[in-house]
Amino acid sequence: MIPDTRPDRAIGLWLLTCAAMIFAMAVIGAITRLTESGLSIMEWAPFSGALPPLSEAEWDRLFALYRQIPEYLELNAGMTLDAFKTIFWWEWIHRLWGRAIGAVFALPFLWFLARGRIGRGLAPHLVAMFVLGALQGGLGWYMVASGLAGRVDVSQYRLVAHLALAVAIYAYVLWIAMGLLDPAPETRTGDASQRQRFAPERQRFAPRRLRAGLIALAGLTGLTMASGGFVAGLNAGLIYNTFPLMDGQLIPDEYAAMRPLALNLFENVATVQFNHRVLAIGTVFLVFVLWIRSRRLELAQGARLALNLVLVMALVQLGLGIATLILVVPVWLGALHQAGAMALIGLILFSIQRIRPTGAV
């Protein structure tokens, strides 16, 4: 008899909701960055900050704080209060959504815990998710603080750290959710004959090398996303707005202009943009290699569909990236490019989960 898995399914759906909210958070964060809204709130108020300004006096106070930082003095001098409100709302929504994620995670967690529905194996994962979420909130403020004095924007290093942690939390939550919604046969059956009976076809044709390639693809995609964070942090997408050449060259003259050479990887706009291009193309190439390899393997329909979706999404994402560059980073397209990156990493994880070897968790 197959044990009742409804508690796991309920928890899986809850975590899947959290993952969807983190996905949306990444897109909201991209819009906040693209609209240069991230420095519009200069106060760290985790609880009282949930309320927006409720009077003109409060708006005037917040605007006065903004007029003291370098971004206003050097870039936005003369900005009106109405214009300030526009950038304020994006940052406020970004922070409010973060609070909402915390509430959607914490309240059901306490509910499931009180009813004894969280097993010993799952509890450490949930605690780790909560800790990582709290760290992400602190890291977000640490990033904002870097732009309040001495520079007109936030540190690209802190921006990439903030993005990387968001992607890591998203991947972590999504992976655990998928495991709960589609557990390995061993967690659902009692003996060997039952495992064989109920094991999905994808389990019996689990090519380990293809799975290893997909894991490598997930790592390369994460690295490409991190390089995109440096592009965003340095506004490197606003130059060399042609493809495939950069200023008429395959490799721009400025590629290694800084000394020491390692500094180019993180602070040279030409290097950062070129590297992001190379990593993106390399990611799509690896997707093609794995997809072609998969065509020669006997895979279940679900696994085949997952790999096809990865291929389609990789091509769409490459197209979005090129369009974003050529059109000089319009906000809507930049946000769509961020959404595409999150969708791609999610589909890669889904593919890994669909072809996991029997007994994998």
Query: 143-171 pLDDT, tens per residue?
Result: 999 999 889 999 999 999 999 999 999 99
Answering whether pTM is above 0.95, one says no
Residue-averaged pLDDT of the chain: 90
Integer Cα distance of 58 and 52 in angstroms: 9
Q: How confident is the model at residue 44 (pLDDT cuts 50, 70, 90)?
A: confident
Is residue 300 over pLDDT 60?
yes
Report whether 144 contacts 95 (CB < 8 A).
no
Report yes or no: 225 and 345 within 8 Å, Cβ to Cβ.
yes
pLDDT computed for residue 47 by the predictor: 79
Looking at residue 191, what DSSP letter applies?
A: S
359 pLDDT band (50/70/90 cuts)? very low
Q: How confident is the model at residue 207 (pLDDT cuts 50, 70, 90)?
A: confident
Quote the pLDDT of residue 184.
58
Q: Which residue has the tokens 């093609």?
A: 288
User: What is the mean pLDDT of the segment spanning 112-140?
Assistant: 95
DSSP 298: -
Amino acid at 63: F
pLDDT given for residue 356 in this prediction = 65
Q: Is 120 exposed, middle or buried (0-12, 13-18, 19+ CB in 10 A)?
A: exposed
The pLDDT, as a whole number, for residue 188 is 37
Q: Residue range 206-232: average pLDDT?
A: 94
Q: Where are the domains of the chain?
A: 1-183, 201-361
d(CA 356, CA 212): 10
* Residue 308, CA distances (Å) to 20, 127, 212, 344 in order: 22, 34, 17, 12
Q: Read off the pLDDT of each residue in 318-345 and give the average, rounded to a whole number.
A: 98
Rounded to whole angstroms, the Cα distance separating 267 from 24 reads: 28
Task: Copy the structure tokens of residue 361.
Answer: 């968790």
Euclidean distance between CA atoms 272 and 278, whole angstroms: 10
Res 198 pLDDT > 50: no
Overall average pLDDT of the 235-249 stretch = 96
What percent of the chain lies above the pLDDT cut of 90? 81
Could you give the CA distance from residue 320 to residue 167 in angstroms, rounded to a whole number?
19
